Amino acid sequence: MWLATMLARPFAARVAHRPLRWRAPWLAWQMLSWVALTLLAPPFWTIGALLLINPSSDQPFFWAVAMAIVPVANGVAIVATNQRHHRAPFLRRTAVALHAFGVATAVGGALFVLLLWQSHAIAGLVGPLAASADGTRRAPLALWVAGLAAAFGVASSAHASIVHAWLAFED
């Protein structure tokens, strides 16, 4: 019966998408998504595992805050995605994932650059990457900082955007 009615409709009506809806109960799914995004983020569990193996570090503030950037960036992305969905509902999960990815990558990368700058870790962490064997710099230090920030932002949010689109929204 439903197949006959669906096939009787014009093609455009058959492929038209209804807006996505938040899963109910809303807060529980949002919190589950945020916790899952945080725990599954490669920078979060990699740094955490390394600190569990050897907690003595030359820069304990840097590593602790680098781990804290992941839930903050993903939380900001979740709130921004929900606000965007409230104003103009998403029609597809890919749109949700792309929006969340863009926000989380930008926020995570910006916070990582601020952390590198504030903790004076640029010379210690990024300097050896930019130096060549003869002591000269292959590329400006700013390019290496931007590359590390982009890698950190992508690594902490690529999976997160997809997981959030599937956990927090339903058709």
What six digits make up the tokens of 97? 């994932």
pLDDT score, position 110: 97
d(CA 164, CA 78): 8
pLDDT score, position 61: 86
pLDDT score, position 143: 86
* Residue 59 belongs to some domain of the structure: yes
Its domain, for residue 160, covers: 18-170
Each residue's pLDDT, cut to its tens digit, for the chain (171 residues) gives 666 766 676 765 555 578 999 888 989 999 999 999 899 899 999 999 988 888 887 788 899 999 999 999 999 999 999 999 999 999 999 999 999 999 999 999 999 999 999 988 888 888 777 776 666 666 678 888 999 999 999 999 999 899 999 999 998
pLDDT score, position 124: 81
pLDDT score, position 56: 83
- Number of structural domains the chain divides into: 1
> For the residues of 39-59, what is the DSSP string, one character each?
HH-HHHHHHHHHHHH----S-
* Residue 11 belongs to some domain of the structure: no
* Residue 77 belongs to some domain of the structure: yes
Whose structure tokens read 């927090």?
168
* Residue 10 belongs to some domain of the structure: no
